[in-house]
Each structure stands twice: as C-alpha cells, then as structure tokens.
Amino acid sequence: MSSSSSDSMTDYAQLARSRRSVRGFLPDPVPQALLESLLETARQAPSGANLQPGRFWALQGEARARLSAALCAAVRTQQPAREEYDYFPQPMPMQLRKRQVASAQALYRSLGIARGDAAARQQQFERNYRFFDAPVALLVTLDRDFGHGGFMDLGMCLHGLLMAAHARGLGACAIGALASYPEIVRHALGLPEREVVVCGVALGWADPLAPDNQTQTEREPLAQYFQVLS
C-alpha cells in the first residue's frame, strides 16, 4: 500500500469518527453551488443496477414555513403518527431500547432539560420539524414502487451526503421524525402520492457554541457486530 493511500484511509477514518449530528446552526446561508456539489458527491454512492433511488427536495420560503407549521400543529394536537415504513423494531428489544434511551439522555443532558420537563422536551422535539432552524432544509423521498433495496441504496447516498458536508466544514442532521406524518408532508408540499417520505436533513454551518452540538453518542464495540465464520 502506498503512503498516499494510507494517508487517505487515515483521513477518512478521522473524518468518520469526528462526524456527529448537528442541531445548532449559524444563520449564514449555504451557497446553492455548494449544496449541489454535495448532492452530486453523495450520488456517487453504490447503487444496485445503478438505479439511484430517491429524491431530494430543498424547502425554502413559504413551502418550508407551511410544512413546519403543519407538522408542529400535528404534534401539539397529538395526532397519531402514520409511518409508511417501520424505522424501529416493534416491539423494541430491551438492548436496543437502552441505546435509544441513552442517546436521548445525552441530548437532553447537554441542553439542561430535566427528565420530567415534558414541555421543554416537546419544544425540543418540535425543532425536528423546523429543521433545527438550519439554513438548508431537505426532504428525502423514495418512489413507492421501489423494493426494500431502494432504502439501502438511498441510505448509502444519505451517508455520502452527511460525510461530504462534514468534509466541507458543514454540519448536518438526518431527521427521521418527518416520516411520522407522510400525508401531512405530501399535502403541505403538493407532492404526489407515489413519494414515500423517508426523512429530512438539516444542513448548514455548525454553531460551535450550541450545547446540543456537544452531544456525542458511543458505538458498540467491534465484537458485538463482527464475527469470523470458518
């Protein structure tokens, strides 16, 4: 292996280990050319039969405000979620539930939100539907006719987007909560029924002083998910 190849692998490892979900952003705009470059880079992800599934919708102005208002209203009025695909296992196994709780606790702890402060927790959750006030708000959809493999390919593309953004000094956060109200999303934006709402993405320049940006989750040790069979 050449020295340059070794350096590239080290650089990527450092990039991957330093990336984290960003939920606090500076108001500085992201140039359209930079956003398009990130998406073109992300689209280089592997894709079975080169089908390249998924669409990215940049939400601006009235469209973004209308969607955020509709989703926040759904939360406040306790409308039941109507996901079109299962994100979490049902029921949630205890070992996975522990990871979920630990992740939430780390976030709320960084924000100084007490466990029993339901109002503050709801306010924080609603920030998902405001795309954390990021300069760029993306909606990600998948054509309903794609098989399950479309989610895998789109997931690799999303990872490519998050990594490309991080490499250019930006922060980003994938927002699965948007998939909880697909009918509201499609109606607010005038999207066709064939578009399955997969997630949102908040993207922009990270605010270094935002407390929620200090949250760091841990990954399972290698022995938990890698085994050699012979």
What does the pLDDT read at residue 217?
87
Question: Is 85 within a domain?
Answer: yes
**pLDDT band per the 50, 70, 90 thresholds, residue 7:** low
Model pTM score? 0.92
Question: Is 11 within a domain?
Answer: no
CATH number at residue 94: 3.40.109.10
Question: Is 5 within a domain?
Answer: no
Instruction: Round to whole Å and give the CA distance between 130 and 118.
Output: 19
**pLDDT band per the 50, 70, 90 thresholds, residue 127:** very high
* Per-residue pLDDT at 121 exceeds 60: yes
182 CB burial (10 A radius; 0-12, 13-18, 19+): buried
Average pLDDT over residues 107-135: 92
Question: Is 174 within a domain?
Answer: yes
Which domain covers residue 102, as residue numbers? 22-212
What does the pLDDT read at residue 10?
75
Tally of structural domains, the chain: 1
Single-letter residue type at 32: Q
Question: Is 229 within a domain?
Answer: no
Question: Is 184 within a domain?
Answer: yes
